[in-house]
Structures are given as C-alpha cells and as structure tokens.
C-alpha cells in the first residue's frame, strides 16, 4: 500500500488521472493545467455540484470506495438529466484523512470512471487536500442543453400529468437493511469483547451478512443509475416536460418543491406509486409502511416530471414511466389520495442533510 504523502499532490493527481482520456469535443483541455478549457459556442451551459461527507452521506462500513466513486458521479450526472440536459464534464475534489492509501483512491477513481464512461462524461480536473474528520467528496458536473429545451422546476401547470420513472423506496430499504446488519455486527462484537471471547472475535472478522433475495435493494442504495435513458425516451417521443427534478431527498419533498416553484397544487394517488416487490417485502419485514418509504425515503435518483395532459397516450405507452397523479390549482393543496379514497396533505418528510442528529 502506498502512502499518499509519498507521492505529493501533483504525483497523486498524475497517478489517478494518467489513464483518463477525453471524448467530448467541448473539452479542449482537461487535467494538467491550472484550469480545464471548455468550449460551448451555441448552447447553454449547466453546472451542478454536490458535497458528500463521511458519516453524513455515506458510511464506509458498508460502501466500498469503488461504489462510492460510482455513486458520487451518478448523483451529479442525474442533476444534469433533471434539467433535460446532456452531461459532459466532471470536476472532482477530495479531502482525505491519513488512513487512506493511494490504492484506495485508485478504487474510488475506477468507480468514477465507470460512471462517467456510461454517460460519455470527461473527468477534467479537481483538487485534493487533507482532512481531520474523514473523507469528503465534492463533485461538480458540467452539461449542456439548447435554451428552449431546458426544463426547470417552475413550469408545471393545472391539469398537467405527474409522472415518475422506475420505482421508489428501494434505495431507502437498502439503507435500512445495511444499517440493520451493521447494528447486528457491532452488537456481536460488543458482546464478545465483554466476555473477552477471543475466538468469537476472530470469527467475527469473517462476518458476512446474508443478503440473499435482497440484491436489488442493495444495488439501488450502493449503485444508483442516473436516468438518462428516460430523457432519451422522452425526446424520442417528442415530449418536453413542463417541470422536472430527480428524486434525491424523497418524492414528497420533490413534489412540494415543484408545487412551490410552479405555484400549483397536486393530487397523487397511492395506488399508482411504483414499488418493487423486494421493497414491499422488506418494509413488511421491518414493520414499516411501504408507501411512507416510497414517499419519503430518498436516494432513488429517479425522475419526477410533469407533462401536458395532451401527452397522456404517449406516457401510457412509455416503458419505465408511471403516471401517479396530476397538477391542480394551488388552492386545492398538495394531496396524497390513499387507496380507500381518503386524502392526506403531503408534508416534506424527506431526508434533510442539515438536520442535526
């Protein structure tokens, strides 16, 4: 294992980026100078950034650095797709404690590159520094879109249809599963230490949780996929959403964002919310309400969007998209219609990274 300090900042950058090749014509110059050089003469530039903190956004007990790199890239790329844009470049900054080795970062970059290769995105720069509090990841994604094709959150109108891609709640249930197994493991470690049972402690080093039958939930949590495929299907069907977001903090929170910025209300039908079978089984196993998980769980990185009612027949035929409700006038509020017809006011119960624990 190679100490990071033995390479120095520039040596580390060179080692991590030596195999990165640029593929976008807009990337005139990538890693290697004070700035990347990009050229966008005839289109609008989209820029998004995310910061992920160890202990807040991820736990290295159950996510390895390859998957962390993959996920870090995908969640930023997802924001560009949520504006109906095309992602082009990525800038990566890391703050590292001394417990990380160069090989650890190579794993992280392998995950980054796998995600970027999937969507033809160039890694064009970044920064590294030291940290006393664990790993911090900051990623900026740059994309493009013609001005008249950009979709904001503020365009939803009365009678528009509300749609989501994929299924919801699986990433949250994957997180609950990982947290449960982590708790079980550390409880066993604590018991063995209290009894000074060295044999048990030795066996626990090879502890492997049983995730059989729950692989989909883990994939949704550890390896999310930005939904560029849905953007392509919408374009191919000649559908331009009137408002759109990706579902990072939970369906309820994202619905309220669109309603607030579009000055509208909504009616969403519980029976139409897409939920995978494994999600429902896991929620029952943990004695949790599956609709609550789907509405408030977050980290699905599916697309929530509204379309004109005239596109109803196109949406119904579209694979991977579900119609879950419609937009109303603001005075009708934001309502979730339960299976029995009872209506509940939608409240923002999604994940809040600034909330104190």
Q: 299: annotated binding-site residue?
A: yes
The response to whether 254 counts as a known ligand-binding position is: no
57 in a known ligand binding site = yes
Q: Strand 334-337 and strand 265-269: pairing?
A: parallel
Q: Are strands 136-145 and 161-165 parallel, antiparallel or unpaired?
A: unpaired
Q: Residue 91: phi, psi to the nearest 5?
A: -120, 130
Which helix (H) or strand (E) covers residue 89, if one does?
Answer: strand 86-96
Instruction: Residue 241: name the closest of 143, 323, 331, 119 by CA.
Output: 323
Using CA atoms, how far apart are residues 86 and 95, in angstroms rounded to an integer? 28
| Collapsed DSSP state (helix, strand, coil) of residue 103 | helix
> Measuring CA to CA, how many Å separate 79 from each of 110, 111, 115, 248, 258?
21, 18, 14, 9, 15
Least Cα distance to 354 among 93, 56, 49 occurs for 56
158 is in an annotated binding site: no
Specify whether the CB–CB gap between 121 and 141 falls below 8 A: yes
Distance of CA 224 to the CA centre of its chain: 6
Asked if residues 107 and 141 have their Cβ atoms less than 8 Å apart, the reply is no
Residue 153 annotated as binding site: yes
Residue 49 assigned ligand-binding role = yes
Q: List CB contacts of 47: < 8 A, sequence separation 6 or more.
A: 140, 141, 142, 143
Q: Cα 183–184–189 angle (5° rounding)?
A: 95
Could you tell me where the beta strands, DSSP code E, fall in 178-285? 243-246, 265-269
Determine if residue 50 is labeled as part of a ligand binding site: yes
Q: For residue 284, what are its two tokens? A: 């029952």
The verdict on whether residue 249 carries a ligand-binding annotation is yes
326 marked as part of a ligand binding site:
no
**Which residue positions form the known binding site for ATP?**
109, 126-127, 153, 248
Annotated binding-site residues read 34, 48-50, 57, 79, 109, 126-127, 153, 246, 248-249, 299, 351
Binding-site annotation: residue ranges for substrate: 57, 299, 351
Give binding residues for Mg(2+) as ranges: 34, 48-50, 79, 127, 246, 249
């Amino acid at each position: 294992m190679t100490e990071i300090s033995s390479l120095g900042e520039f040596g580390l950058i060179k080692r991590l980026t030596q195999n990165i090749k640029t593929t976008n014509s807009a990337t005139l110059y990538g890693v290697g100078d004070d700035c990347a050089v990009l050229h966008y003469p005839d289109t609008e530039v989209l820029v998004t950034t995310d910061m992920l903190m160890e202990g807040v956004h991820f736990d290295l007990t159950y996510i390895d650095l390859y998957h962390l790199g993959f996920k870090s890239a995908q969640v930023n790329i997802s924001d560009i797709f949520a504006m109906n844009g095309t992602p082009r470049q990525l800038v990566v900054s890391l703050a590292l404690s001394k417990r990380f080795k160069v090989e650890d970062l190579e794993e992280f970059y392998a995950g980054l590159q796998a995600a970027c290769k999937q969507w033809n995105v160039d890694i064009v720069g970044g920064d590294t520094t030291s940290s006393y509090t664990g790993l911090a990841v900051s990623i900026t994604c740059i994309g493009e879109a013609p001005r008249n094709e950009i979709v904001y959150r503020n365009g939803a109108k009365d009678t528009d249809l509300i749609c989501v891609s994929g299924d919801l709640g699986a990433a949250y249930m994957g997180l609950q599963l990982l947290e449960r197994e982590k708790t079980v493991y550390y409880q066993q470690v604590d018991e063995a230490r209290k009894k000074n049972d060295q044999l048990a402690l030795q066996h626990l080093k090879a502890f492997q949780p049983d995730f059989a039958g729950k692989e989909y939930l883990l994939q949704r949590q550890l390896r999310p996929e930005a939904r560029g495929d849905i953007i392509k299907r919408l374009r191919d069907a000649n559908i331009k959403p009137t408002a759109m977001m990706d579902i990072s903090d939970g369906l309820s929170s994202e619905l309220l964002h669109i309603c607030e910025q579009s000055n509208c209300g909504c009616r969403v039908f519980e029976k139409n919310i897409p939920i995978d079978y494994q999600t429902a089984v896991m929620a029952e196993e943990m004695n949790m309400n599956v609709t609550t998980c789907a509405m408030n769980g977050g980290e699905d990185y599916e697309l929530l969007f509204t379309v004109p009612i005239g596109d109803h027949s196109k949406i119904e035929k579209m694979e991977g998209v579900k119609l879950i409700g419609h937009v109303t006038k603001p005075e009708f509020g934001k309502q979730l219609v339960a299976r029995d017809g009872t209506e509940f006011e939608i409240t923002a119960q999604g994940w809040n990274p600034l909330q104190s624990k």
